[in-house]
A and B are shown apart, each in its own frame.
Chain A
Amino acid sequence: MVDWRLFEPLFNYARKKSMWIVAFCTGCGGIEMPPLMTSRYDLERFGMMPNPAPRMADLFLITGYVTPKTLKRIIITYEMQPDPKYVMAHGSCPLNGGPYWDSYNAIKHLDKYIPVDVVIAGCMPRPEAVMDGINKMMEMIENGTADGWKRYKENYEWYKKNQDELFGEGWREREARRWLPWLMDKKKE
Chain B
Amino acid sequence: MADGQEEGVKTMREETIIQKILEKAPYAEGKVRRERRIEFKIPAERIRDFLMLLKEKDFESMMQITVVDWPNDGEYELVYQMWSYTHAVHAFVKTRIPRDLDKARMPTVRDIYPVAETYERDAHDFFGVYFEGNDKMEMPWILDDTEQGLFPYRKDFDWIGYVKKKYKILDRFDEDKDNYVI
Contact = CB atoms under 8 A, between A and B. Distances in A.
Interface of A: 68-69, 96-97, 101-105, 107-109, 166-168, 174, 178-179, 182
Interface stretch (B17-25, B89-97, B140-148): B140-148
B77 to A, nearest CB: 23
A34 B182 CA distance: 31
A174 B144 CA distance: 11
Given A68-B146, A96-B182, A102-B159, A108 B167 contact: yes
Contacts of A97: 182
Contacts of B166: 104, 166
Contacts of A101: 170, 180, 182
A109 B169 contact: yes
Given A68-B146, A96-B182, A168-B146, A108 B159 contact: no
Contacts of B163: 102-104
By size class, the interface of chain B is 10 to 19
Interface string B159-182: 110110011011000000000101
A108 B162 CA distance: 14
Given A68-B146, A103-B163, A108 B169 contact: yes
B138 to A, nearest CB: 9
A109 to B, nearest CB: 7
A30 to B, nearest CB: 18
A109 B166 CA distance: 13
A174 B182 CA distance: 34
10 contacts: A101-B180, A103-B163, A104-B159, A108-B169, A109-B169, A166-B166, A166-B167, A168-B146, A182-B139, A182-B140
